[in-house]
Chain A
Amino acid sequence: MPKTASNTNAASLEKMQAGWKVRYDGEIGRDRTVVNRSGIEVRPLYTPLDWSDSRYVEDLGMPGELPYTRGIYNTMHRGRTWTQRQLIGLGTPQDYNKRVRMLLQQGASAISLLPCNSGFRGIDCDESPVPLLGTCGTVINTVDHMDAALDGVPIDEISTAMNDPTPFTLFAFLLGVAKRRGVPFDKITGTANQSDYISHFVANHMFYRLSQPGARRVFVDHVKFCREHVPNWNPVSVVGQHMQQAGATPAETMGLTLSTAIQYADDCIEAGMDPDRILPRFTYFFDISISFFEEVAKFRAGRRIWARIARERYGAKDPRSWRFKFHGQTSGVDLTQQQPLNNIARVTAQAIAGIFGGLQSMHTDGFDEAMACPTEDAARIAVATQNILREEAHLCDVIDPLGGSYYVESLTNEMEEKILKVMDVIEDAGGMYKASDAGIVQRMIGKSALEYQNRIETGAEGVVGVNCYKSEIEDREVETYRPNRKAMEAQVAAFKAFKANRNQAAVDMALNKLARAANGTENVYEKVVEAADIGVTHGEIIACLRGELGFGHPLMVA
């Protein structure tokens, strides 16, 4: 058989590489083993023997087309940069309003809202210890609070992300504000950032407001309501971030996230919704760790797998259903309390990984975010980091600039394999709902968390200022944000007065309707929206649903 040019090439490449390997081994002596966080061994050199252009069409294609490895849009960041969406939540609604206006002025192009931890826990401010109010999020218990928080913010022009777990009271308050301001619901855009109740159970990340079956019911009703009444809202955000922050490796995280998306899609379809009507509104929320190339590969592989699931499993015809839209947040777990200004460098590296991974929206952490809510200075630097990467470092000029790298393509393929294995484990267990109920997911996450901590303890994973390059000098003091105690006491007093002066009969009637819907077949979420609108509070809505749908138990595994 005559030798083709490419055969000759391959043969001489193999020879070249073998020669290099001999020289490499001779010079390096005993090489260290490098294994990334997902457990993939990383070799010292990648060449066309690991990945070559002959696989281009099959593995990569063009941006905006299958298999979407290079990005979900034709123009990607060159056409439209990512949305700069800083997660914000602090103090009273007035404190929040001041911060959000400052960030919008600085260049943030969308807003988000994190409620106070008492809110996550499902209770109102009058039931909480005052010292804990507003330290990690804004106290929003009523439609009035939401109105004050968004004072002067054009909710019909700007997209909003609500950290708003089931039963989505914050979103109901937002709709109440829209009604007051005469903004039609189809002008409301944004994302229900915390709709992923399974992640709350398995990563034990925040709270358990409702039982798992109750949360499942409200989830489906919420999706249905949004598809009917708020067409430009993304009611589903699958949150891989919770799992990775809780200890899952990047590959496990992507696998668990995609398995969760499958669970939600299955549930919605079983409730009668058409795949092409819901899947375009599925979004994802991820951690971006500092394991740079691994994160880039994680996102590229995830994008490819989702497109396949949407088409092959659900038969989705609309390309919007195939697109893996995601928000990335730089990982807080990687930040350190020691030498806190170093966190600016960490966040920068994480942000670049997210950008090269092709994200649609990003939050960069403040350097003091390992300690407390970011102070104003830290929040400003976090936004500026994104601006610098875009304007000065020119990271948006070329689409998927790491595409075609022997290492990145090979790693993307290996990550894909790992991710699919995790998904198989979940599928074999009967899907994500059952797998979490059985504790399989928690065990996986817990094991990885411990393994990673052991890597830090043994020094296998270096953390500057923590297990290496420790400073002799005292760490610089960082100012810690704490809300104004007096203002918070006034907020609680005003809230109590508001409750006392409401039309109690109307409140009772709204809660009755909510309870009836929970016990029947009416859409529960529709009743949540009605109740919120007439002044029923966050805590009251949750208490009512908890009574009807059951209280959540943490799904713990020893």
Chain B
Amino acid sequence: MSYPERVLVTKIGFDGHDRGSRVVAAYLRDAGMEVIYTPPWQEVAAVVKLAMQEDVDVVGVSSLATDHLIMPDLIAALREAGLGHVRLIVGGIVPRNEQPELLSAGVSAIFSPGATSEEIVNTVRTLAVEARAAREDAEVV
């Protein structure tokens, strides 16, 4: 990659527990990525705007208290803004029966407690490559 992966780490919805998002942001940063971090309680529209302004490859959403239930809104809004190439990951507590819906809606990966920093970093790296390829494809079309 010609320049480091750019990742937005954020929380949408109503929950403010940010221990997980802060720890993950630190791991990504220490792995050499450029991390844009927001405090909790971001509106979907604000996340889209930030993703666009900061030209990120991956958006990581931390959800510990059911906020993943509005992930489909975020996915739709990103697509509408022409950011369909941006890859999405969710980390935190997503009950297993609710995971298929998120994955089919367009979330690339879901990390549960117990995921190692290595798994997260590697996945984000791969997804960033995918995101840049997807954007180039879209630009060619």
- Chain A residues with a Cβ under 8 A of chain B: 116-118, 120-121, 128-129, 131-132, 135-136, 200, 204-207, 245-247, 333, 336-338, 370-372, 446, 449-450, 453, 457, 463, 465-467, 475, 477-478, 480, 482, 554, 556, 558
Contacts and interface: CB of A to CB of B under 8 A. Distances in A.
Given A129-B70, A129-B73, A477-B96, A136 B15 contact: yes
22 contacts: A120-B14, A120-B16, A128-B14, A131-B69, A132-B14, A132-B67, A132-B70, A135-B65, A204-B39, A207-B16, A245-B17, A246-B17, A246-B18, A333-B19, A337-B113, A446-B22, A453-B23, A453-B117, A477-B96, A477-B97, A480-B97, A480-B98
A457 B117 contact: yes
B19 A132 contact: no
B65 A337 contact: no
Given A204-B39, A449-B22, 9 more contacts: A132-B66, A204-B17, A204-B40, A246-B18, A337-B114, A372-B95, A450-B23, A453-B117, A477-B97
A131 B44 CA distance: 14
Nearest to B98: A480
Nearest to A119: B14
B122 interface: no
Contacts of A128: 14
Contacts of A457: 116-117
Nearest to B116: A457
Contact of A449 (B19, B41, B95, B97): B19
A554 B14 CA distance: 14
A457 B37 CA distance: 22
B77 to A, nearest CB: 13
B13 interface: yes
Interface of B: 13-19, 22-23, 26, 37, 39-41, 65-67, 69-70, 73, 93, 95-98, 112-114, 116-117
A367 B101 CA distance: 25
Contact of B13 (A132, A206, A246): A132
A554 B37 CA distance: 13
B26 A204 contact: no
Contacts of B114: 336-338, 463, 465-467
A337 B14 contact: no
A336 B117 CA distance: 17
Contact of A205 (B13, B17, B67): B17
Contacts of B95: 371-372, 478, 480
A192 B1 CA distance: 53
A239 to B, nearest CB: 13
A482 B98 CA distance: 11
Contacts of B70: 129, 131-132
B93 A132 contact: no
Contact of B19 (A200, A246, A475, A556): A246
Given A117-B13, A118-B14, A207 B41 contact: yes
Contacts of B16: 120, 200, 204-207
A337 B112 contact: yes
A371 B93 contact: yes
A136 B66 contact: yes
A247 B117 contact: no
A466 B14 contact: no
B50 to A, nearest CB: 15
A247 B113 contact: no
A463 B93 CA distance: 17
Nearest to B15: A117
Nearest 10 interchain pairs by C-beta: A117-B14, A554-B39, A135-B66, A131-B69, A466-B114, A480-B95, A206-B16, A136-B65, A121-B14, A204-B18
B36 to A, nearest CB: 11
A467 B119 CA distance: 14
